[in-house]
Amino acid sequence: MILLGIDVGGSSIKGGLADVTRGELTRELLSLPTPQPWAPDAVMRTVADLSRKLPASGPAGFAFPTVVKRGRARTAANVDEGWIGIDGAALASDAIGRPAVFLNDADAAGIAEIKWGAGRDTPGTVIMLTFGTGIGTAIFSDGRLLPNTEFGHLCMPAGEAEHYASARIKTEQSLDWQQWIDRVNEYLEQMHRLFWPDVFILGGSVSENFDEFRSLLQSPAEIRRARFTAQAGVIGAALAAAMSLDKP
């Protein structure tokens, strides 16, 4: 089954067609710049444009950086506040002309990695971390997701985690790998102290450079690179859409 997945990020909106029975994209990922500001109507015009370039049937998955409760956006940490209270599933469905599933972006990335990627068949506690404009988190216990965790907002001695250790901060402050990973290690230490995970999976576009900084990472937990790197949100969104077909 081939389904559309869309992942909205701070700099770009990515879309792709995923074979949800194999856990892979069927063609190259497409992306368009994220409108500034991230107003719902502007984002949905871009989503509709991507959908036309990626024709598919069946439901689509829409991953977005917000807490999602019963299909509605509840937070707006890094997006336009106009999203709060919006029925994201209905809005996406109107934009693309077919049913859509709306979920948190880090949850989508985690779903992809647990189903087909670095967390596949991994027992115990697995924490997916996506480093981008902010820090997204998805926590799994024996493969089961606890949705809408927001530990990118964890308070650390130097301030909120995603304002200290996100990939955006690395770029804005021109941090080298050692300087940035020192901050990431502080964050991992705090997360380990709270949750005692067996595995951390590091994702987001920056994970494409994992081999450059892997030797600098420190944690009692095993640290793995996300298999799908920047594609995880798109593949996970498509998987969430497939899962919706099994629900009454």
The Cβ-side half-sphere exposure at 132, using a 13 Å CA radius, reads 25
DSSP-H helix ranges across 151-214: 167-172, 177-195, 210-213
- Secondary structure (DSSP) of 157-169: TTEEGGGTSSHHH
- The candidate with the shortest Cα–Cα distance to 177, out of 204, 151, 215, is 215
Instruction: Record the tokens describing residue 11, joined without a space.
Output: 């700099």
For the chain, report the end-to-end CA distance as a whole number of angstroms: 19
- Between the alpha carbon of residue 149 and those of residues 24, 144, 165, 180, the distances in Å are 26, 13, 17, 23
C-alpha 248/C-alpha 194 separation (Å) is 36
Question: Cα Rg for the chain, rounded, in angstroms?
Answer: 17
C-alpha 172/C-alpha 68 separation (Å) is 29
C-alpha 175/C-alpha 203 separation (Å) is 19
C-alpha 15/C-alpha 23 separation (Å) is 15
Q: Are 5 and 236 within 8 A, CB to CB?
A: yes
C-alpha 110/C-alpha 140 separation (Å) is 8
pLDDT (tens, 9 = 90+) of the chain, 248 residues, equals 999 999 998 889 999 999 999 999 999 999 999 998 889 999 999 999 999 999 988 999 999 999 999 999 999 888 889 999 999 999 999 999 999 999 999 999 999 999 999 999 999 999 999 999 999 999 999 999 999 999 999 999 999 999 999 999 999 999 999 999 999 999 999 999 999 999 999 999 999 999 999 999 999 999 999 999 989 999 999 999 999 987 65
pTM above 0.85, yes or no: yes
C-alpha 107/C-alpha 95 separation (Å) is 22
Q: What confidence score (pLDDT) does residue 247 get? A: 64
